[in-house]
Amino acid sequence: MKKKELEITLQKIKQPEKIKVELEQYSTPASIASDILWKAYYNGDIEGKFVIDLGCGTGIFSIGCSLLNAKRVVGIDIDDEMIEMAKREAKKFNVHVEFISMDIEEFDEKGDVVIMNPPFGAQYSNRKADRIFIKKAMEISNAFYSLHLKESANFIKKLVESRGWKIIEEKNYRFPIKASFPFHEKKVEYYNVLMIHGKRSK
């Protein structure tokens, strides 16, 4: 599968009509997801690996990893409706992903790599959620690829390095969020986000 083919395939994953603002359920665009997945694949972090997707939503990273021949993929989300939707999408693409409905803090199985788009922690009810996800990723894997608001990225990087991990690479993206709630003033708001690839130091 080529990168463009992956992006076209991921664009077919159905997105939820309604999202829960308190959980910051903003879907990762296929263009960004495919770029991150292709980078991870090129780095040898997907094919034949046990990949975990924390806060998987409808499964764009999970399904993409399965399409790129991951050995095992587990997607975790606290929202039962998202998990059921992700299961239907995986079935549609004829891929096997273990989707689990639970709080990511309760998941303790160890994998090779975490690939995720965690909550940005921008909503008052969800403050510091991004830190919770990063800490869990470092607890259960040896590497991660994660998206964060650029304005909070330095704090995240310091947290990662304070745990003895290395920042291997970074990449900036313009992340579009469609108007979903009354407080959204524009049809599409763009946010500067940073993909951080971290790796456990040996």
- Whether 1 maps to a domain, the answer reads no
CA distance 148 to 142: 19
CA distance 90 to 82: 12
Residue-level pLDDT at 124:
42
Higher confidence at residue 178 or residue 179? 178
- Whether 167 maps to a domain, the answer reads yes
Higher confidence at residue 121 or residue 180? 121
Taking only the tens place, the pLDDT of each residue in 137-152 is 999 999 999 999 898 8
**Is residue 202 over pLDDT 50?**
yes
- Whether 18 maps to a domain, the answer reads no
Higher confidence at residue 191 or residue 46? 46
Residue-level pLDDT at 18:
67
Average pLDDT over residues 1-29: 79
Alpha-carbon dihedral angle through residues 132, 137, 143, 144, given to the nearest 10 degrees: -60
CA distance 200 to 95: 29
Number of domains in the chain: 1
Query: Residue 167's pLDDT band (boundaries 50, 70, 90)?
Result: very high
The CATH number of whichever domain residue 180 belongs to comes to 3.40.50.150
- Whether 88 maps to a domain, the answer reads yes
**To the nearest whole number, what is the mean pLDDT of the chain?**
89
- Whether 21 maps to a domain, the answer reads no
- Whether 14 maps to a domain, the answer reads no
**Percent of the chain at pLDDT exceeding 70:** 88
- Whether 61 maps to a domain, the answer reads yes
Query: Residue 76's pLDDT band (boundaries 50, 70, 90)?
Result: very high
- Whether 63 maps to a domain, the answer reads yes
Residue-level pLDDT at 29:
92
**Is residue 120 over pLDDT 90?**
no
Give the range of the structural domain holding residue 165, as residue numbers without chain letter.
26-200
**Percent of the chain at pLDDT exceeding 90:** 74
Give helix 30-42 / helix 60-67 axis angle, nearest 10°: 40
Query: Residue 125's pLDDT band (boundaries 50, 70, 90)?
Result: very low
CA angle 20, 26, 29 (to 5 degrees): 155
